[in-house]
Chain A
């Protein structure tokens, strides 16, 4: 306890004591100076001086404290900052203040520590969110995320394209303003409100964009937060237009195939039944029936082979062995096989083949099958006495090799020309000229265009003849 403290007490005591003496000695009549009066005055003076000193001292302390406070307030410092205690009544205040400061420092430290932790969590959450966004943006299907107010939170490029909006502009906007599809918007709302039976709903939805109809398999999922409230809806639109188309094509193909297979089978059954019922009374008829049954069985077998081949090629299951080979060599091999058939029908075969060293990269079996099919057609549809020409050509500058098979046969009507390569297509006008499965040309087109990336060509004039051929890359 410093001397300053004394002044605290001397001041009021002195003043009061002095005043007391003076008042005690107060006698209006006597204007004499007694010892009491002198003491009184003395005490008064001492008291006042003491008070003054105390006041000045106090003021000084306040100023000092004030300055220190300002320094403290000016900037945070790690060191424990405290006000320097003064040896007066303010000292008690300073002690309390310093305690409060200490407590505040502790709280600040805790707060800072908590903030740091939150920052780290925020970083992690942000990084996770970015990752999730990246995942969503990389998904091929259209993804649209809406919140509990039906506002767009996130949409990927596929969604932008599929539903026709800008994914950046759409952010935080109501989904019914962004997506012009009341049905879809309605579904999102229904799922969010839990009107759907389950949390997830899968529906088929048709969307019209740029005059085109596309069918989507839409999966809507209600995302619930920890309180069980709906946090929003995730809508995933999978474009199943092509899948549906392919499924329908497959179905059509199976129907066509079944129909085609049934025709020879029907003949076989009918003739067998006729034989059983003794309808063929003479040997000639019997033999005729037997021949027909045999021919139809063979046809059925060939049909099945063709169908399997085509199916395997189209589904990419057939193993393709590409080697450099000479078209000329392949053509010669096919010619050998066809020559006997041609001779039988009195058809002349002409060869115009390039030198064998011109090669193309191709599967030998497939290419042989293609050339054979074309040659076989040419011979089948050319009446007796006609000519079939087999030509190979090379264009070195264009780096192409080509094959042409030209016949003087029945030709194809112009209206049928675009369809000759279609599966099971048979030219109406020529149905009685020769038997066919309707698959031969389809197989050739598949082999040349799909497998070998070549080009098919055909020209024809009804009654005059046809020219079928293809082009492949020279290697």
Chain B
């Protein structure tokens, strides 16, 4: 039986804890995980590595999560990469902005790693 190709997930967040937790969770679930600590790094890595999925925080140094997702969508290489936004509750994000950036899913912090894994599988069309 052919091994399903390992999917790559790019996580962008300036908080180490988030990166640690999400990395470990996804790695344990069989994904390859790459991390970025700010918006600019995230965009660079996304364009370079072409991950299967982008999970990004909203509030970050450099470009924020929406900007990263927007630019990715406008690029040649990155336009098909689905994105999940980690939003902090209390930040009022304009619904229109979110849709325009191509982000299809959101999960608000504090989030449960279990739920995030569920969303990741859903975004990648993988049966749980």
Q: With A262-B89, A270-B21, A279-B24 as known contacts, state yes or no: A431 contacts B113, CB within 8 Å.
A: no
Determine if B25 and A279 form an interchain contact, defined as CB atoms under 8 angstroms apart: yes
Interface status of A292 (Cβ within 8 A of chain B): yes
Interface residues of A in 277-323 (CB under 8 A from B): 277, 279-281, 285, 292, 296
Secondary structure type dominating chain A contacts:
helix
Interface status of B109 (Cβ within 8 A of chain A): yes
In angstroms, how far is the closest chain B Cβ from the Cβ of A300? Answer: 12
Determine if B88 and A259 form an interchain contact, defined as CB atoms under 8 angstroms apart: yes
Determine if A259 and B114 form an interchain contact, defined as CB atoms under 8 angstroms apart: no
Task: List, in ascending order, chain A residues with CB within 8 A of B28's CB.
Answer: 279, 281
Interface status of A269 (Cβ within 8 A of chain B): yes
Secondary structure type dominating chain B contacts:
mixed
In angstroms, how far is the closest chain A Cβ from the Cβ of B111? Answer: 7
Task: List, in ascending order, chain A residues with CB within 8 A of B18's CB.
Answer: 270
The answer, among B21, B109, B112, for a CB contact under 8 Å with A262, is: B109
Inter-chain CA distance A269–B111, complex, in Å, is 8
Determine if B17 and A292 form an interchain contact, defined as CB atoms under 8 angstroms apart: yes
Determine if B90 and A255 form an interchain contact, defined as CB atoms under 8 angstroms apart: yes
Q: With A262-B89, A270-B21, A428-B61 as known contacts, state yes or no: A277 contacts B114, CB within 8 Å.
A: yes
Task: List, in ascending order, chain B residues with CB within 8 A of A122's CB.
Answer: none
Interface status of B52 (Cβ within 8 A of chain A): no
In angstroms, how far is the closest chain B Cβ from the Cβ of A274? Answer: 6
Task: List, in ascending order, chain B residues with CB within 8 A of A265's CB.
Answer: 110
**Between A and B, how many residue pairs show CB distances below 8 Å?**
47
Interface status of B41 (Cβ within 8 A of chain A): no
Size bracket of the B interface: 10 to 19
Interface size on A, residues (CB 8 A): 22
Determine if A266 and B110 form an interchain contact, defined as CB atoms under 8 angstroms apart: yes
Interface residues of A in 23-52 (CB under 8 A from B): none
In angstroms, how far is the closest chain B Cβ from the Cβ of A433? Answer: 13
Determine if B17 and A431 form an interchain contact, defined as CB atoms under 8 angstroms apart: no
Determine if B90 and A259 form an interchain contact, defined as CB atoms under 8 angstroms apart: yes
Q: Mark B75-92, 1 if CB is under 8 A from A, else 0.
A: 000000000000011100
Interface status of B67 (Cβ within 8 A of chain A): no
Determine if B110 and A274 form an interchain contact, defined as CB atoms under 8 angstroms apart: no
In angstroms, how far is the closest chain B Cβ from the Cβ of A284? Answer: 12
Q: Name the residue on A nearest B109 (C-beta).
A: A266
Determine if B110 and A270 form an interchain contact, defined as CB atoms under 8 angstroms apart: yes
Q: Name the residue on B nearest A277 (C-beta).
A: B114
Chain B residues with a Cβ under 8 A of chain A: 14-15, 17-18, 21, 24-25, 28, 61, 88-90, 109-114
Having A267-B21, A274-B113, A280-B24, one finds 15 other A-B pairs with CB under 8 Å, namely A255-B90, A258-B90, A259-B90, A262-B88, A262-B89, A263-B15, A265-B110, A266-B109, A269-B110, A270-B112, A273-B112, A273-B113, A279-B24, A281-B28, A428-B61
